[in-house]
Chains A and B, each alone.
Chain A
Amino acid sequence: MARFSKQQVVNGMKEGRIVPLFTHDKPVDAQEVLEAAYSGGIRVFEFTNRRENSFDVFRHLLDVSKKYSDLMLGIGTILDGPTTKKFIDAGADFIISPIMKIEMAKVCRDHDISWIPGCATLTEIVTAKDNGAEIIKLFPGSVLGPGFVSSVMPVVPGLQLMITGGVEPNEKSITLWFKAGATCLGMGSQLFTKEILEQKNWPLLRQRIQDALKLAKEARN
């Protein structure tokens, strides 16, 4: 069972401004990253289902997350209904997908869980909205660009977009996306660099997250 309501997840993403996305096949390292992110100020975290053992690692992280009463942990890179169900049953607080697949919307609705589908055209975005998506992921962000967001925002009122793919943890990139109208930013490899992971430099990771959150806060104010 998810520990947080849909509304809590939506608010958490809006207030948090940055949702890290991360995968690792070693439970211990994944735990270190999750805890470093939390201590850096992250309260909504996306683990991604990109490895063979991602389900097991995710369950481990769910256990870890129970230590933190205000940490929401969801799963990303989900591509179909059955996998959605499996992760919801395990306790995922929200479901993120790189695609917009209606069967996933239904599973999430049945379980009252946030469905955050990945869209790349306004048609996909509005279809997702009509199927109950409150926050919609824009993917790949680097291909569509902030200009895409500023073009669609006036056309469909009330859109809440999360940008993923190529968002960089620097002032320029963060400011551009928020100015265009993004609700929050997903950040993966740009935040969790290979170097940091190889050196297991968790203090540096925590620092990078703090810096990125500070920039996001300034950009939105």
Chain B
Amino acid sequence: MKSSGMIPVFYHADIEVAKAVVDASYKGGVRVFEFTNRGENAFQVFTELLKHVQKYPDLMLGIGTIMDAPTTQKFISAGAHFIVSPIMKQEMSAACQKENKLWIPGCATLTEIVTAKDLGAKVIKIFPGSVLGPGFVSSIMPVVPGLQLMPTGGVEPTEANLSAWFKAGVICVGMGSQLFAKDIIETKNWAKLEQSVANALAIISKIRTK
């Protein structure tokens, strides 16, 4: 997560579309991908996707939008490499710890963040990023040393937005709808998707070398 700087966040009910999006993202340089549990057949698509990505030994595929421990356990058993949640739920921490998987809870206040950290979260998701803003991150970073934050929600693949987040001190960003524009998915323009993923990653690496 740290070295790639950007985690795509994506859901689609059609396994073929999901595969194509993961392929294009991988080609664009992504090595950590979050599929989200937002549809009825998400589990099925995710297990198919896990099989599909076996051809990429350096791609980590995790599951997001997980809300409780039983679902955490179910996706870990299926082979999820990490668990992301929009909320900070203690029982999920225990489930991840038992299986030695990374638990990335979603937090919106410093109290939630420190509680998550005390419960063992190494990386903490800031959600919704667009509501809290880079100013939230820069305010809390000096107060609690060693935080590793990933904003998600409203992060834009532009130099202005990404540079505001990284300057504020985040270790990586999660990007969903801003990256996977509707028209790209509808027209199955995978070449364009690969290009926009590569662009976003290039912007991040440029910001970081500054």
Chain A 112-150 per-residue mask, 1 if CB under 8 angstroms from chain B, else 0: 000001111100100000000000000110110000000
Q: Which residues of A contact B135 (CB under 8 A)?
A: 140, 142-143, 166
Q: Are B110 and A118 in contact (CB under 8 A)?
A: yes
Q: Are B133 and A99 in contact (CB under 8 A)?
A: no
Is B139 on the interface with A (CB-CB < 8 A)?
Answer: yes
Q: Which residues of A contact B142 (CB under 8 A)?
A: 50
Is B114 on the interface with A (CB-CB < 8 A)?
Answer: yes
Q: Are A99 and B110 in contact (CB under 8 A)?
A: yes
Q: Are A121 and B143 in contact (CB under 8 A)?
A: no
Q: Which residues of A contact B144 (CB under 8 A)?
A: 79, 98
Q: Known contacts A50-B142, A50-B143, A77-B143: does B111 contact A140 (CB below 8 Å)?
A: no
Q: Which residues of A contact B111 (CB under 8 A)?
A: 99-101, 117-120, 124
The A/B interface has a contact count, at CB < 8 Å, of: 47
Q: Are B114 and A143 in contact (CB under 8 A)?
A: no
Is A165 on the interface with B (CB-CB < 8 A)?
Answer: yes
Complex alpha-carbon distance, A77 and B140, angstroms: 11
Is B97 on the interface with A (CB-CB < 8 A)?
Answer: no
What is the predominant secondary structure among interface residues of chain B facing chain A? helix
Q: Are B143 and A143 in contact (CB under 8 A)?
A: no
> Which partner residue on chain B sits nearest A139 by CB separation?
B110
Q: Known contacts A143-B132, A143-B136, A166-B135: does B110 contact A120 (CB below 8 Å)?
A: yes
> Which partner residue on chain B sits nearest A127 by CB separation?
B111
> Which partner residue on chain B sits nearest A121 by CB separation?
B109
Complex alpha-carbon distance, A101 and B115, angstroms: 8
Q: Are B139 and A143 in contact (CB under 8 A)?
A: yes
**CB contact between A98 and one of B108, B110, B132, B136 (< 8 Å): that residue:** B110
> Which partner residue on chain A sits nearest B118 by CB separation?
A80
Q: Which residues of A contact B115 (CB under 8 A)?
A: 99, 101
Q: Which residues of B contact A166 (CB under 8 A)?
A: 135, 139
Complex alpha-carbon distance, A117 and B139, angstroms: 16
Complex alpha-carbon distance, A143 and B139, angstroms: 9
Q: Which residues of B contact A117 (CB under 8 A)?
A: 111
Q: Which residues of B contact A165 (CB under 8 A)?
A: 139
- Some 8 contacts from A to B, beta carbons below 8 A apart, are A50-B142, A79-B144, A98-B110, A100-B111, A101-B114, A119-B109, A124-B111, A143-B136
Q: Which residues of B contact A121 (CB under 8 A)?
A: 108-109
Q: Which residues of A contact B114 (CB under 8 A)?
A: 79, 99, 101
Complex alpha-carbon distance, A118 and B139, angstroms: 13
Q: Which 3 A-B pairs have the closest CB atoms?
A: A140-B139, A120-B109, A99-B111
Complex alpha-carbon distance, A175 and B54, angstroms: 60
Q: Which residues of B contact A139 (CB under 8 A)?
A: 110, 139
Chain A 159-184 per-residue mask, 1 if CB under 8 angstroms from chain B, else 0: 00000011000000000000000000
Distance from A112 Cβ to chain B, minimum over Cβ atoms (Å): 24
> Which partner residue on chain A sits nearest B136 by CB separation?
A143
Complex alpha-carbon distance, A199 and B95, angstroms: 53
Distance from B76 Cβ to chain A, minimum over Cβ atoms (Å): 29
Chain B 190-209 per-residue mask, 1 if CB under 8 angstroms from chain A, else 0: 00000000000000000000
Complex alpha-carbon distance, A166 and B110, angstroms: 16
Q: Are B109 and A142 in contact (CB under 8 A)?
A: no
Q: Which residues of B contact A79 (CB under 8 A)?
A: 114, 144
**Which has the most chain A C-beta neighbours within 10 Å: B108, B133, B140?**
B140
Complex alpha-carbon distance, A87 and B115, angstroms: 21
**Which has the most chain B C-beta neighbours within 10 Å: A118, A140, A142, A165?**
A140
Q: Are B133 and A98 in contact (CB under 8 A)?
A: no
Distance from B89 Cβ to chain A, minimum over Cβ atoms (Å): 15
